[in-house]
Amino acid sequence: MIVYFRKLTYFNLWQMWTFDTIIDSSGQRLEISGLKGMETVVNSGPDKGLTINMLVDRYEGEVVGARMFSRFGAFFPLLVSNDGKSIQLHFIDPDGGDAFLASVEPLPDSTFLIQDSIGLEKGDEAVLYDCIPDIPLNVVRSPHFTANLLCVDRHLMRDYIEKDTFVVIIALEGEAWLESRGDRYKVKAGQTALISALSTGLVIEPEGEFTALEAYM
164-191 per-position pLDDT tens digit: 899 999 999 999 998 877 777 888 888 8
The Cα–Cα gap between 5 and 18 comes to: 9
Per-residue pLDDT, averaged over 49-78, amounts to 92
Question: How many percent of the chain have pLDDT more than 70?
Answer: 86
Show the beta-strand stretches assigned E in 9-143: 13-20, 22-23, 29-32, 41-42, 78-82, 87-92, 99-106, 111-116, 127-130, 137-141
Q: Which pTM value belongs to this model?
A: 0.88
Fold that domain 6-216 belongs to in CATH: Jelly Rolls (2.60.120)
Q: What share of the chain is helix, strand, coil (3-state, %, to 5)?
A: 10, 50, 40
108-158 per-position pLDDT tens digit: 888 899 888 765 555 567 888 898 889 999 988 888 889 999 999 999 999
- Structural element, H or E, at residue 122: helix 117-122
Determine the 3-state secondary structure of 211 from DSSP: strand
CB atoms within 10 A of CB 21: 21
Phi and psi torsions of 119, nearest 5°: -65, -40
